[in-house]
Amino acid sequence: MTTLTIGTAAQAAGVNVETIRFYERRGLVAQPPKPKEGYREYSPATISRIRFIRRAQEIGFSLREIEELLSLRADPRADCGDVREKARAKLDVVDQKIAELKRVRAALNEVILACPGRGALRACSILETLEPSPGQPASRGTTPSQKRGHP
């Protein structure tokens, strides 16, 4: 069985050494025992696990969710449907974020279109839109159409 030092393991997994150490601290990757002399040695299975973690992160899973996936992977009673359920839940979150970003994009487009793009800063329609109206919560601005009385 081929083993690698942490630097070589990091290179093989496509991460840096600190990423491996972070995963070890989080309990996502077991830290190999340190021999009396020499360096800790990482197995190909550990490299594979690190790659799994990175790929799961790339498609949006949090480290907590990855821990759950790894637990499912190690559970002989787990079913592919369990993993599918986790992926479906993640997709729902992504869809909600996309919907929110579309709402933000539309609001930005509206304030940009309402702005003449020139004139005194004190009359800037974008800054006016961002200023809360009396009685309105400070965390939410209104769009130009809302200022005109439209939802």
| Count of domains observed in the chain | 1
Residue-level pLDDT, tens digit, the chain, 151 residues: 577 899 999 999 999 999 999 999 999 999 998 888 888 899 999 999 999 999 999 999 999 999 999 999 999 999 999 999 999 999 999 999 999 999 999 999 999 998 888 888 888 888 888 888 787 676 554 555 555 455 5
- CATH number of the domain that residue 111 is part of: 1.10.1660.10
Is residue 140 in a domain? no
For the chain, the three-class secondary structure string (H helix, E strand, C coil) is CCCECHHHHHHHHCCCHHHHHHHHHHCCCCCCCCCCCCCCCECHHHHHHHHHHHHHHHCCCCHHHHHHHHHHHHCCCCCHHHHHHHHHHHHHHHHHHHHHHHHHHHHHHHHHHHCCCCCCHHHCHHHHHHCCCCCCCCCCCCCHHHHCCCC
Is residue 131 in a domain? no
Tell whether pTM > 0.75: no
Is residue 86 in a domain? yes
Is residue 138 in a domain? no
